[in-house]
Chains A and B, each alone.
Chain A
């Protein structure tokens, strides 16, 4: 399979991390950092799921919704793309309670990152749906399908494969942005690293391990998305059908 080198990379990265950690006597850092890594993974997965849902809802509303719905979708996309993820995170965490809505830090993290990446994802979805040839829509009209049937059965299945690689980028972007959640009291990988660094001052070792952890998770995401693309393309038997 085409992504075998990536699998090898992922394994090597993990092994390298573990070797460095064990041989240099960093065993003491590992449990804490792994704990942080799990939180990071949790936020990445939760945020990604939310981002995909937001992106599809926003993109389809923007493309086919009645004007009030379309307006809301445009506002959502522009606000979340046009402002900093850190500010969004702080806003949800520090400003919302002023209006009587207090959320768990982890909920805030997933919500902020999911909404942020979802806004970028909406444009990915829109691009892929627009790229489905017009002839496919015309065929659905000629077969008397409703717009919803056409979208669900004909257009979206064809748009899914080309949108997988850009989604891979967004998920990795989301992973990296999770480092911000350490600023709202969540003990993620970055938070744990800072905490340990503050008490031990072994900066080189700690941040090297953290670097390898982030890289390993990113490579895992890439491998997963490549596999998904491979299976989706095979399942859809895409070909020059015009």
Chain B
């Protein structure tokens, strides 16, 4: 993993600094530049909605935070610590497996296609990682799983397998499964895009509930403009691998300054 040596690590107070910080992050696939010197800061407990046309790098931001993609250049900090590189004797080196796993423990992710484990019941899906990764006893993990599944409204589907659940229910299990790891940052990657329209509401309601009840920083890539408007503290409009415009939802959705933002929102409006 290459790290730009010109970017110095600025010490950040773990308590008060931003929860997530991208510094001049570059990412390209061959000649296609996906992220272009991206700078982004997300405060603790902040809820950020990421919107933008397809190919603008929205999902890549989340996948990089989850360490599913490598970065070409720049730095990402989570909870004040560098994510893809680490400090060894004052020198910045690429993260080893141990550091990556410690950092991943702070982050949870929900995917567009749920990615539930098909050979496990809803409850087992939620218990697996707490048992194997956090070392919880079966009883503790089960209690946690039951509590979270009730929270997402699936207390009566504990022993159902993913194939026996609707898309909306599967996505709610996936949210509970991610929360079972008690992450500080939750990433939602187009979590309603694969759902039938009538199932979108139940998933969004769960996300509202998490936002209200849990102290967790949230980054959400979404095409649900109405939801982004109501839910987010800040909306970032991505275009060409950069943040083209950002601000509180009232500003972005009501009086966007940038012409591209206006075009995008107009196109979204026409599509609905």
Contact = CB atoms under 8 A, between A and B. Distances in A.
Contacts of B50: none
A238 B163 contact: yes
Nearest to A150: B132
Contacts of B104: 141-142, 144
B129 A241 contact: no
A237 interface: yes
Q: How large is the interface on A (under 10, 10 to 19, 20 to 34, 35 or more residues)?
A: 20 to 34
Interface of A is mostly: helix
A142 B178 contact: yes
A145 interface: yes
Contact of B113 (A153, A236, A242): A242
Contacts of A57: none
B163 A239 contact: yes
A237 B164 CA distance: 9
Contact of B161 (A144, A145, A149, A237): A237
B119 A158 contact: yes
A136 B115 contact: yes
A242 B113 CA distance: 6
A1 B240 CA distance: 57
Interface string B115-159: 111110000000011001100000000000000000000000000
A135 B115 CA distance: 5
Contacts of B107: 142
B106 to A, nearest CB: 9
Contacts of B118: 158, 236-239, 241
A27 to B, nearest CB: 51
B28 interface: no
A138 B66 CA distance: 9
A136 B163 CA distance: 15
A143 interface: yes
B114 interface: yes
Contact of A144 (B105, B111, B116): B105
A29 B162 CA distance: 57
B162 A241 contact: yes
A143 B114 contact: no
B209 interface: no
Nearest to B102: A144
Contacts of B177: 143
Contacts of A242: 113-115, 194
A24 B105 CA distance: 74
B111 A237 contact: no
Give the residue among B66, B108, B128, B177 with the most A Cβ atoms within 10 A: B128
A239 B161 CA distance: 8
B170 interface: yes
B251 interface: no
A143 B128 CA distance: 9
Given A135-B113, A239-B164, A240-B163, A144 B129 contact: yes
Contacts of B162: 239, 241
Nearest to A141: B68
A157 B128 CA distance: 14
A143 B113 contact: no
Interface string B222-262: 00000000000000000000000000000000000000000
A180 interface: no
A240 B66 CA distance: 25
A141 B113 contact: no
B208 interface: no
Given A143-B177, A143-B178, A237-B163, A154 B117 contact: yes
Given A141-B68, A142-B178, A239-B161, A149 B119 contact: no
Given A145-B132, A237-B161, 11 more contacts: A142-B107, A142-B111, A142-B178, A149-B132, A149-B133, A153-B132, A236-B118, A238-B163, A240-B163, A241-B116, A242-B113
Interface of B: 66-68, 97, 101, 104-105, 107-109, 111, 113-119, 128-129, 132-133, 161-164, 170, 177-178, 181, 194
6 contacts: A139-B111, A142-B109, A157-B119, A236-B119, A241-B161, A242-B114
